[in-house]
Structure 1
Amino acid sequence: MLAYAVTSSGLFLRTLWALLLLAPSLYAYNTIWDDPNCTEHEVSVDRGHRVVMACNISNNFRDVTVNLTAYGKTRIIFNQMPPGNYSEESWQLQIQGGQARLVIMDAQGIHAGKYCWKLRGRQSNYTDFILNVTSLANDNHEPESLKVHTESPTAVKTEVISVIIVAIIIIIIGIGVFAWNKHRHSLEPHRYRFQATGLSHGSPGRPYLTLP
C-alpha cells in the first residue's frame, strides 16, 4: 500500500514536471506571430493627392481582404488576394512577402470612409483605417465619423496564453484527483479484509484470542 502511494505520488510529480516543461514550449511556439505593424490608422489627405495605407507582418502574407464602409454602406474592394499587384477602379493593392500596401493616386470623396483589412499570414489579423479626404465643400455628403477598432496582437497573445495556462491547470488538477481517488479505492479492500478477519473470531468487533 505504501509502495503504491509512493508510486502514485511519483507519477503525479513526473506528470506535473512534464506539463511545466511543456508550457514554455507552447509559449515559444505562440511567439511566432505575424505582429502587424501598420501606418497611422486615421489619415487625412487633400483631394487629388496620393495616399498610402500599409501593413507589414513578420511572416509572409497568404492573402489580404479589404472592405470599405462609407455613407452607411459596405463594399468589398479586394477579396482574399494572394501576393501580387492588383487594381480595382482607382485602388491599387500591392502584396509582396510580409508587406501589403493600398494606394490611391488621386484621392476623391468616394475614397473617404473606413477601410477594414483582414490580413492572413500565420494567423488572421484585423485592422482598420479611417481615410478623410478634405476640401469636400462641394460634395453632397461627407463621410461618417467612425472610430477605429483595432484588434491588438498583444491582447490576442495574452488571451491564447491564458487559455493554455488554464488548460494546464485543469489537467494537473484532474490528474491529482484521479490519483487520489485511485489511491483511496485501493485502501478499501484492506479495510474490509481487516474487519472481516475481526468478525470471524470471537465476539463482533474483537479479534479471537487463544488462551494457553
Structure 2
Amino acid sequence: GRGAGSGGRLLAHLELAGYLPEDITHVFLTHGHPDHIGGLVDGEGRPVFAKAEHLMGRVDLEFWLQNPSPAVQRALVPLKERIRPVEDGEEILPGVRAVASFGHTPGHMSLEATSEGKGFFIFGDAAGHYLLSLRFPQAYLGFDMDKAQVVRTRARLFQKVSEERSLITAYHFPWPAVGYIRREGEGYAFVPAFFEF
C-alpha cells in the first residue's frame, strides 16, 4: 500500500536497485513522522529490515515514545529495543555523522558524509520547502513543530552547506533532489546537481 503507515514503494525500488531487505545493514531515522517510519514493520509487526541496526536521534526517539502517535505505536514501539539512540556529532559509520537539526520535530537529525574532502549533507526534512524555506529562511511550515527553532536550524545549516559547497539532498525537494544551496540575496536557492555554478 501507499497510505500512511506503509513503506510506499521503498522495497520495490530497493529490489530494482538489486537489494533485498536482508541486505540492508543500517537504517537511520531522521525523525518520527509517519512518512519516515511507516515502512519499518510489516503487516504482522515484524521488522522489515531484520538484519539492520536501527539508529535514531536520542531526543526525537524519547519524544515519540513518550508522545506516541498511531504510526509510532505501530512502527517505533515494537522496535524500541532494537533502535540505538544517537547524539549530535556521533559518527555512526566511518565518515558519516549525525547532525542535530531540531525544530521540524523536537529531535530531528540529519546526516553528514565526507569522502576525499567532499561533503554530502542529508537534510531529511530539516530543509523544509525547496522554494519557500530557501527564499524566506525566516518562514516555517505547518508541519514544523517548533517554529522558532526550525528557523534557527535552517539559517545555520543553509549557511554551512552553502559556504562549504556541500552536495545536499532533502527528502521533500523535487527530483533529482540532489544539488547545492547557494546564497541569493537575503535568502538561498537550490541548484539541482545537473547544473554547475
**Common topology (TM > 0.5):** no
Name the one with the larger helix percent: 1
Where relative contact order (Cα < 8 A, 6+ residues apart) is larger, the structure is 1
TM score, norm. by length of structure 2 = 0.22
